[in-house]
Amino acid sequence: MKPFIGISTSIINSEEYEKNNVVHLKGLNQSRVSVDYSNAVERAGGLPFLIPILKYADDNVIDEIISRVDGIIFTGGSDIDSSFYGIENIDEDVGIMKSNKTRDEFEFRLLKSAIKLNKPILGICRGIQLLNVYFGGTLYKDINSEYETDINHLGPLDCKYKKNHEIEIDKNSKLYEIYNKNKIQVNSFHHQGIKKVAKQFKVIAKATDNIVEAIEYEGNNFILGLQFHPEMMFENDEEQLSVFKYFIKKTEKL
């Protein structure tokens, strides 16, 4: 029996469609996530299960959803509202990066349940930031304005599999077990990043400018966070599928 892997989704409010003159979708809020996550999970031996943001779900419903999946992936997307890590949030219209507090709050509840029920957790891009904030860490709201670097961490999505920069991996880490390398090239599509690392995590990979690229939980739960996007690269680089194969094996051991 293949394991069911929950995949978080974003919510696109109808106002966003109206701004882009998509008239026929006016009034409809939609759940959405890149198909790359589902394809990577299926290719790695799992069954993808999309988890929509639910308006009325209480904690019992959340627990029931999480109890029926064998692991959960927190996906990329919008910025996390900075009020969750102690910074005044200025609501700036920056398109897909614009924060969505509804998504934040719902995913924090999913994460809380997954930790309680000891489900393996993988956070990618926004997902690693979500993990860090939930456990008490902070973020750079915008790397380019807050951090001196010669790396463009926000690459163009029209070439999603393109390797953008190198990262160095801690040899005593889950990520090293996955790649069996201490250096790899990765893609990069983020303008925010981890600033203060949550106490329960250790940094296991950094870019050459020292921006955090991966963290792992030091407690009993399996929790791994990646700032790059292996799901976007695996079709052109089969090695990137190793992340999902490793994650799925962890779900099968429980």
| More confidently predicted of 13 and 106 | 106
Q: Is the pLDDT of residue 28 over 80?
A: no
| Rounded CA separation 120/104 (Å) | 20
Q: Is the pLDDT of residue 25 over 90?
A: no
Q: Which residues are catalytic?
A: 125, 229, 231
For 78-134, the pLDDT digits (tens) are 999 999 999 876 655 444 477 899 999 999 999 999 999 999 999 999 999 999 999
Enclosing domain of residue 216: 4-252
Kindly state the percentage of the chain with pLDDT values over 90: 82
Give the CATH number of the domain where residue 75 resides.
3.40.50.880
Q: Mean pLDDT score of the chain, rounded to an integer?
A: 92
Looking at the 3D structure of the chain, how many domains does it have? 1
For 46-55, the pLDDT digits (tens) are 999 999 999 9
